[in-house]
Amino acid sequence: MATTQLTVIGYVRVSTNKQDIGPEVQIAALQTEADRNGWTLDIRRENAASAKSLRNRPVLAQVLADLKAGKADALAVSKLDRLSRSVADFAGLLETATRQRWALICLDLGIDTSTITGAAMAQVTCTFAEMERKKIAERTRDGMAKIKTTTGKHMGRRSVLPQATVDRIHRERATGMSMARIADLLNTEGVPTATGRTWHASTISQVLGR
């Protein structure tokens, strides 16, 4: 996919956190990049959305739906934290972009999967994200084992399931992926459930219904 003449959705997330960069700065960075590369830029703005969960971001959900439908060639953000504060979750979004054949552009990380260099940077990010996933899974298993040893019981789902896993499930579902397919992916990657058992479509449904 060439860098020029792309139709790019620029996602701008406006937070209530005063330390976050404002929408004007985000838009300016995206517009500068669009002018430099000849993109057709479509700015989508999400107001006061939490970075900790994808469930409360209807604008992002619509963006992902439009990308899946082929209405745009790429999704661009000025900084990683506009999409997620988890590199592992961002890597999951990269996987979705690759599968659905649209590009993902993150200006602060130098990621632009429509270019060879940017795609290589994405692979590096995914490598570190995989390490993060494995560390999270290991900490979760160790924590559950310790609790079971001391109390004889597993911790409940709400206390154990990492927010990154919850966010990923909502993100994959927003792209149209079936609950059974999401469960298969999580099982293949060794992502633990809250009770350390196997993921099923019914398990995914429980997470989505919280």
Instruction: Please identify every residue annotated as catalytic.
Output: 15
DSSP-derived pairing of the beta strands 74-77 and 7-14: parallel
d(CA 139, CA 136): 5
CB-based contacts of 109, cutoff 8 Å, min separation 6: 80, 121, 125
DSSP-derived pairing of the beta strands 74-77 and 103-106: parallel
The 8 Å CB, 24+ separation contacts for 143-151 are 144/192, 144/195, 144/196
